[in-house]
Amino acid sequence: MQYAISFSDVESAATRQEGVVIRTPVLSSPDINGLAGREVLMKCENLQHVGAFKFRGASNAVGLLGDAAEPGVCTHSSGNHAQAVALAAKRRGVPAYIVMPDNAPRIKVQGVIGHGAEITFCEPTLRARIATAESVLERTGATFIHPFDNPHVIAGQGTAALELIQEVGSLDAVMAPIGGGGLLSGTSITIRRLVPNALIFGVEPTGADDAARSLAAGELIPQTNPDTICDGLLTSLGETTWPILRDHLEDIVTVSDEEVLQAMRLLHDHLGMVIEPSGATCLAAVLKPEFKELEGIGRIGIILSGGNVDPESLPF
């Protein structure tokens, strides 16, 4: 099947991003390995520019716009993609117009402001985000950079998995969180080429499990009324990302908010890192008893997708 991107798009993005994105470290902890019952290799995208993997996709997409970027770029996002587009636009020297829900984490709002973007707040619904963004686009003539349903964004996100394999070699399995599916789509295309026999897993909070329900049903089921502390994983899958995930994933693990909070505590206690709830979902998943029982997975790579969380929301 023809997908929105191929592995060559990820390779091109990686070349384009040299000196632009941070080649983030891959860490492991003997204590966490012991708890998981296998070696867990953690790609630390919380140490990326803007504190999240999102800068990979945003920088690739903005960099490919050419003259179309001159009037500016626009997106809607609860935070990390917003910061990523704002920074990519600042580096490109063009305006950024960001639509954010009025309940977005303060640390993410401050990050967008810090990069000089113009923020328009809206109600915290997808319909409000889209309508507000359309109004901003009409007013400014900017180009819209979709948070995940954009091939250049997906290809950029896939470079995290590319770096992971370049650093640690072969893996038995790889896991990434799912919101709109951009990160896991890029990861899936990359892993299937580099480690063809590796199992690919997604993870979602139980309060926002549209991807898990979609995979089980074999058809795209929209997200409705999500209820979770994982603010970066609230959106539905995209028309571009869904076919990739449908055809590549072994399974999608769902985790409770309490399991996510426990994973955040473990990452702080054992690695000294502050990881946001969305970013801690993979560790929460690999620590679930039913996942620990899976055979044939001696080494698993997981992506800690971000570290932007308001201090008062920390569980430690």
Does 78 qualify as catalytic in the annotation? yes
Rounded to whole angstroms, how far apart are CA atoms 140 and 278? 32
Rounded to whole angstroms, how far apart are CA atoms 113 and 223? 29
Does 54 qualify as catalytic in the annotation? yes
Widest CA span in the chain: 55
Catalytic member of 12, 59, 77, 78:
78
Q: Which two tokens stand for residue 38?
A: 């296998």
Using a CB cutoff of 8 Å and minimum separation of 24, what contacts does 290-298 make? Answer: 291/253, 292/36, 292/37, 292/38, 296/172, 297/38, 297/172, 297/173, 297/199, 298/38, 298/39, 298/172
Q: Please, which residues have CB within 8 angstroms of residue 50's CB and are 6 or more apart in sequence?
A: 80, 83, 84, 87, 111, 308
Helix (H) or strand (E) holding 173: strand 173-177
Rounded to whole angstroms, how far apart are CA atoms 176 and 72? 31
Alpha-carbon distances of 256 from 77, 131, 203, 262, rounded to whole Å: 23, 31, 11, 10
Rounded to whole angstroms, how far apart are CA atoms 314 and 110? 18
Q: Which two tokens stand for residue 71?
A: 């009037």
Question: Which residues are annotated as catalytic?
Answer: 54, 78
